[in-house]
Amino acid sequence: MQPQASKKKKPAKERQVLVCRGTGCESQKAKILFDNLEHELKMLGLDDDIEVKFTGCHGFCQQGPTVIVMPAGTFYCNVQPEDADEIVKIDIKDGGKVERLLFIDPKTKERVLSYKDMKFFSPQRRIVLKNCGFINPEDIDDYIAVGGYQGIQKALGGSRMDVINEIKKSGLRGRGGGGFPTGMKWEFCHNSPGDQKYLICNADEGDPGAFMDRAVLEGDPHAVLEGMMIAAYAIGASKAYIYCRAEYPMAYERSMIAIDQATKRGFLGKKIFGSDMDFEIKLKLGAGAFVCGEETALMASIEGKRGMPMPRPPFPAVKGLFGKPTNINNVETFGNIATIMTKGGDWFASVGTEKSKGTKVFALAGKISYSGLVEIPMGTPLREIIDEIGGGIPNKRKFKAAQTGGPSGGCIPSEHFDIPMDYENLTQVGSIMGSGGLIVTDETTCMVDMAKFFLGFTQKESCGKCVPCRLGTKKMLEVLGDISKGKATMEDLEQLLELAQDVKGGSLCGLGQTAPNPVLSTVRYFRDEYEAHILRKECPARVCVDLIKFEVNEENCQKCGLCFKACPAGAVSWEKKQTAKIDVSKCIKCRSCILACRFNAID
Ligand SMILES: Cc1cc2nc3c(=O)[nH]c(=O)nc-3n(C[C@H](O)[C@H](O)[C@H](O)COP(=O)(O)O)c2cc1C
Ligand code: SF4
Ligand code: SF4
Ligand code: FES
């Protein structure tokens, strides 16, 4: 049975207005914008020739709501519902451009016409995100029209081992954090004896700032279902779960719609695609804890138990969900599978580096001009991601470090700015790829404060089962708190490092084993900053408020008054050509003056 678009469906129109309705844009009235565009087209009698289509995330959420007019690819950003009228009249009817809504290149200061010419998009190589922003995620026919459900057809035409060998050939490694070879994992489960096997898609995505899995499920849910069908065939599973983070209602709903549509077409259920294979997918809402993303805790949660990790072995491939052989993969991992099946393992392996194949989606955030989702070939230098795609560091500030791998990861300092981003290189500098969080920092970021933020997160999320994780992270956090208040000694710093090793070595699961990483890597590369807090009672980045005097340095002050305008508490007094003064009795230590001052004049 070949997947065909519904007979009732009209052929896609060449001229389309693509409106992003991912979570980011939807929270900024994208639905009203969508309705207004449809209304305006109807009013001008253009609705027969032009389709307004809603899509998932384009990746450039910071500029949202975003609209792309096809086939020209005209990219409009920060579009408001009331802009619909102009887009329809000027662009669609008269063939012009709504200049004020075009993106302005930060370097050339010129307006860019097509998304293809934007530095944010042009260096990207999209495999997982290729349909996100271009198809309607709630329409199975849209997915079929771009070649969807061909990969599973091809898989079903061969043996299970053919599929596993193709994935092995591709070199794909799990994108959920560990980077374990996917084909090998499938083979373990395939070889595991059992009458019932399970497949799980891990969509718990708990790393602060990460949203690639959410974007894939919101923008291209059928690709994930197809990847799961192929995996299920390979390992011999007939039942599957998508474990979706509770905080992702849109991803959950669109996955539900996709499952429903695929079931109605006979792509899920009994004898899928007319084959001998039965396969059903259920959705399970996550329990709202970071640790539930860990595979053994996740399985416990699906079974209705408290989400707590269990020792391994036995590995899930041998004894997993309900005691049966189980294979767990991440959303992005599944998002690659159908394309690998249709284009071949060799094709996929031609992208990336020797040991890290394909692409990786990063959630770019922090002190960067353009944040959002970027998918780049493995091995792309960090510098290119930050300076080209991300538009560099704003306000003429300098790159300090990039934190990869979220709370389990580490930082990459400026001396490694040219590092090719792949599994091996990141490990070598003491960080990890993780699930793809990439937070950029500049000289206004305090590394003690950043370590404190991530450790605070893991400490709160510790499930409490292991003493080193439960109490060790708490003690570590106390020491970090003392350092940021200028109350710690050098002995405390040594104790912090010893504790870090105890927590790493004595914890059962990845949460505790990796929780100290942000501390260890910031001490490794920025020890001088820790020492400044301890020995000189100074925070060089002027972030740790207990170490800031909130006094204007008369020598540095250029009398510009920016601090006066920025202070929300009326604590700064200033008059033209006069040095500013801060009244500490009124100061609420919000740091607005420090962030506003361009001359480092506030101590
Ligand atoms: C504390 C903790 C949280 C995790 N959270 C996630 C998550 O949200 N999503 C995910 O895919 N993997 C997560 N993992 C990794 C999973 O345990 C597992 O390795 C992964 O889902 C396997 O899929 P992959 O081989 O496709 O990467 C987490 C691991 C730990 C220790
Ligand atoms: S390491 Fe921490 S999160 Fe993991 S099982 Fe132990 S206490 Fe729970
Ligand atoms: S912003 Fe800085 S330079 Fe300007 S008046 Fe305030 S302290 Fe002085
Ligand atoms: S949600 Fe619209 S561009 Fe990301």
Each residue of 452-482: pLDDT tens digit? 999 999 999 999 999 999 999 999 999 999 9
Confidence of residue 14 (pLDDT cuts 50, 70, 90): confident
Residue 202 has what pLDDT? 98
Which ligand is in closest contact with the Cα of 407? 1
- Residue 202 CA: which ligand 1 atom is closest? 11
Helix (H) or strand (E) holding 17: strand 15-20
Which residues partner with 203 through β-bridges?
244
Residue 395 has what pLDDT? 87
Least reliable range by pLDDT among 131-135, 348-352, 394-398: 394-398
CB 376 within 8 A of CB 360: yes
Percentage of the chain beyond pLDDT 70 is 98
Mutate to test the pocket of ligand 1, among 199, 241, 294 (most ligand atoms within 8 A of CB): 294
Nearest to 474 by CA among 501, 496, 448, 445: 496
Residue 3 has what pLDDT? 61
Residue 4 has what pLDDT? 62
Confidence of residue 575 (pLDDT cuts 50, 70, 90): very high
Q: Tell me if 60 CB under 6 Å of ligand 4.
A: yes
DSSP for residue 546 = G
Each residue of 353-371: pLDDT tens digit? 999 999 999 999 999 999 9
> Which domains does the chain possess?
15-117 (3.40.30.10), 140-350 (3.40.50.11540), 359-442 (3.10.20.600), 447-536 (1.20.1440.230), 549-596 (3.30.70.20)
- Indicate if the pLDDT at residue 30 is higher than 90: yes
Which ligand is in closest contact with the Cα of 296? 1
- Residue 562 CA: which ligand 3 atom is closest? 1
- Residue 600 CA: which ligand 3 atom is closest? 2
Mutate to test the pocket of ligand 1, among 213, 284, 295 (most ligand atoms within 8 A of CB): 295
Tell me, in angstroms, the distance from the centre of ligand 4 to residue 188's CA.
38
Per-residue pLDDT, averaged over 229-255, amounts to 97
> What is the residue with the minimal CA distance to atom 4 of ligand 2?
509
Per-residue pLDDT, averaged over 535-540, amounts to 97
Each residue of 297-330: pLDDT tens digit? 999 999 999 999 999 999 999 999 999 999 999 9
Confidence of residue 535 (pLDDT cuts 50, 70, 90): very high
Confidence of residue 8 (pLDDT cuts 50, 70, 90): low
Model confidence, pTM: 0.95
Other Cβ atoms within 10 Å of 7 Cβ, number: 6
Q: What is the chain's mean pLDDT, rounded?
A: 96
CB 132 within 8 A of CB 215: yes
The set of protein residues with a Cβ atom below 6 angstroms from ligand 2 is 291, 309, 462-466, 469-470, 507-509, 511-512
Which ligand is in closest contact with the Cα of 461? 2
Residue 524 has what pLDDT? 97
Other Cβ atoms within 10 Å of 366 Cβ, number: 20
- Indicate if the pLDDT at residue 282 is higher than 90: yes
SS3 content of the chain, % helix, strand, coil (to 5): 40, 15, 40
CA distance 440 to 403: 6
Tokens of 178: 């560990």
Tell me, in angstroms, the distance from the centre of ligand 1 to residue 329's CA.
8
Confidence of residue 106 (pLDDT cuts 50, 70, 90): confident
Residue 147 has what pLDDT? 97
Peptide bond before residue 106 is cis, with ω within 30 degrees of 0: no
Q: What would you report as the CA-atom Rg of the chain, rounded to the nearest whole angstrom?
A: 26
Helix (H, G, I), strand (E, B) or coil at 516: coil
> What is the residue with the minimal CA distance to atom 6 of ligand 2?
466
Helix (H, G, I), strand (E, B) or coil at 61: helix
Residue 287 has what pLDDT? 82
Residue 107 has what pLDDT? 82
Residue 288 has what pLDDT? 87
Per-residue pLDDT, averaged over 149-161, amounts to 98
Which ligand is in closest contact with the Cα of 459? 2
Tell me, in angstroms, the distance from the centre of ligand 1 to residue 204's CA.
8
The set of protein residues with a Cβ atom below 6 angstroms from ligand 1 is 174-178, 180, 202, 204-206, 290-291, 293-295, 328-330, 333, 509-511
Confidence of residue 396 (pLDDT cuts 50, 70, 90): confident
CB 563 within 8 A of CB 593: yes
In order, the DSSP letters of 138-150 are T-HHHHHHTTTTH
Residue 1 has what pLDDT? 56
- Residue 63 CA: which ligand 4 atom is closest? 3
- Indicate if the pLDDT at residue 7 is higher than 60: no
